[in-house]
Chains A and B, each alone.
Chain A
């Protein structure tokens, strides 16, 4: 056994020294089971390898350690420290030859820290891992989903939010990475099947994170991406995202947000499975807070089971606010007790509290007169003539222009893609050939 491990070390050392990383990356997967079998002496192996020079060798040792974690039961803090050292000191150039193995390591690592309840310690490590492996700042990697998961588990979003705020233009998948490296597809097929899972999870978790920090509009966008992903069958991730999508769209728009037409999956599979939520949407449309309260109570078990109860309460609050907002469109002044009875709040004092909060957050413009218990609704005082507004418009314009540029660039890339050209031209050829027989078949009648 010992000699087999020695062979491993020697192989890593010689091939790394000669710079034949590709060869090394192709041979290492075969040693994985050997390493995992010898989990007890892997630390000795690590001592003989240098993280910077032999990144690939260390990567596979780490992978083996994580694979055997259930039997070996390593000291969690030690393993986390090892992983932290590795992402800080490894050689990203070498990692490029074993991207899939690196992803797998990160997934297993995530599983490990979640299991040990130490999620918060993994956040920085994964963020560093993403920075190392992604080729563009706007590339989505399967590790993103892991980072989101850890952030949710640890309830700490300060690291993950900048990643979520970046719009994605490129996706790195295991399938694509395998193709570029011409590795044997077979050993990674399981992972390749998970590509869709990690993509959906990223948008599902991302939506949840944005909901937690109350950026509802952004959350809505993330859920929308998740549920409108082209698919033949429904994933349960999509179903859960759909439920949350319905609730968040009530909070943001007061109705079901627009869903692109090309998603038959929603109508066919998801709607029947999200009945409670559709009932909620229908009741919401009646604008009666009382009815809404009753239906939330009625379905509270289902909502609690789906962990959506908190969101349901937010929906209820949003209806009160929406109703008050509606009043501002009809009335110029109204007494506080009238407001309370119209939006079904219990007392004038409560109505005053709601209105005060809404004025504070800028949702309505009004002033309260305590002397005669009236509230005076006003128009939006924004006259679009302040420097602040100018700055606002300016930044929006720049954003839109940047997006147009990005779209043009991506379109150009697609047009120049040989595969696309071949297909576009090929289908034309097909059309031509299929037309020819017709013209010929018509000929004999002449």
Chain B
């Protein structure tokens, strides 16, 4: 999944905003959804501020803005709560992508930030059922232990995948080596 998946659409929407008056709610809905997906939170916040007041009653926009606020405050529980909504066709695809991305993000963050976390806490954060959660963390090789009655999870630190060196870098490195050899 690429970050520029929606860039063409985004470009079109942005230029519409620059050149027309009295835009409908659809343009703003799509813009907001894409900004959220691309993690451009500052843009999303500003977009909400500039949406004309009379459009702010649009249900879908309000719902999107709830997501926006949850992301601004890093509030995962709220985010997963508000994303359960009947999204219209226009924004469905970016919102679904956003959900997958945020799930991944959540588990990556938990993996790096926690040595141990109670299962019920994580269930609360991610709003997943026990089985769903289990499926997700088994893939990541997390282990579980019992602490009295409650299940506690031990995340495993994920090795960050080294980004592959591109040709340009290799060229630079070769230059260095030849310089040192001579």
Q: A residues within 8 Å of B by Cβ?
A: 77, 118, 120-121, 123-124, 154-159, 212-214, 353, 355-357, 359-360, 366-371, 376, 386-388, 390-391, 394
Contacts and interface: CB of A to CB of B under 8 A. Distances in A.
A118 B17 CA distance: 11
Interface residues of B, number: 31
Contacts of B152: 370-371
Contacts of A118: 21
A261 B109 CA distance: 45
Contact of A356 (B21, B109, B147): B109
A350 to B, nearest CB: 12
A156 B50 contact: yes
A356 B152 CA distance: 18
A155 B49 contact: yes
A357 B74 contact: yes
Given A120-B18, A371-B152, A387-B163, A154 B50 contact: yes
A155 B113 contact: no
A158 B121 CA distance: 39
A359 B162 contact: no
B121 A367 contact: no
A158 B172 CA distance: 33
A156 B17 contact: yes
A393 to B, nearest CB: 10
Contact of A367 (B19, B43, B50, B115): B115
10 residue pairs, one from A and one from B, having the closest CB atoms: A155-B50, A369-B115, A359-B113, A213-B42, A371-B116, A387-B165, A155-B46, A370-B117, A124-B18, A367-B115
B114 A360 contact: no
Given A155-B46, A155-B49, A213-B42, A360 B19 contact: no
15 contacts: A156-B18, A157-B46, A158-B14, A212-B46, A360-B109, A360-B113, A366-B113, A367-B113, A368-B117, A371-B116, A371-B147, A386-B162, A387-B162, A387-B163, A390-B169
Interface string B5-38: 0000000001101110100000000000000000
A387 B165 CA distance: 6
B43 A391 contact: no
A359 B46 contact: no
Given A156-B46, A369-B116, A387-B165, 20 more contacts: A77-B21, A155-B49, A212-B46, A213-B42, A214-B42, A356-B113, A357-B74, A359-B113, A360-B113, A368-B115, A368-B117, A370-B152, A371-B116, A371-B118, A371-B147, A387-B162, A387-B169, A390-B169, A390-B173, A394-B172
A130 to B, nearest CB: 15
A221 B118 CA distance: 45
Contacts of A388: 162-163
B118 A370 contact: yes
A6 B79 CA distance: 66
A71 to B, nearest CB: 24
Given A154-B50, A356-B74, A370-B152, A121 B21 contact: yes
B112 interface: yes
A230 B162 CA distance: 49
B42 A212 contact: yes
Interface in B93-127: 109, 112-118, 121
A110 B165 CA distance: 47
Nearest to B23: A120
B147 A368 contact: no
A368 B46 contact: no
Interface in B73-93: 74
A217 to B, nearest CB: 15
Contact of A120 (B17, B42, B117, B173): B17
Contact of B43 (A154, A158, A386): A158
Specify which of B15, B74, B113, B165 lies most central, judged by the most chain A CB atoms within 10 Å of its CB: B113
Contact of B169 (A155, A353, A394): A394
Contacts of A367: 112-115
Given A155-B50, A368-B115, A370-B121, A391 B169 contact: yes
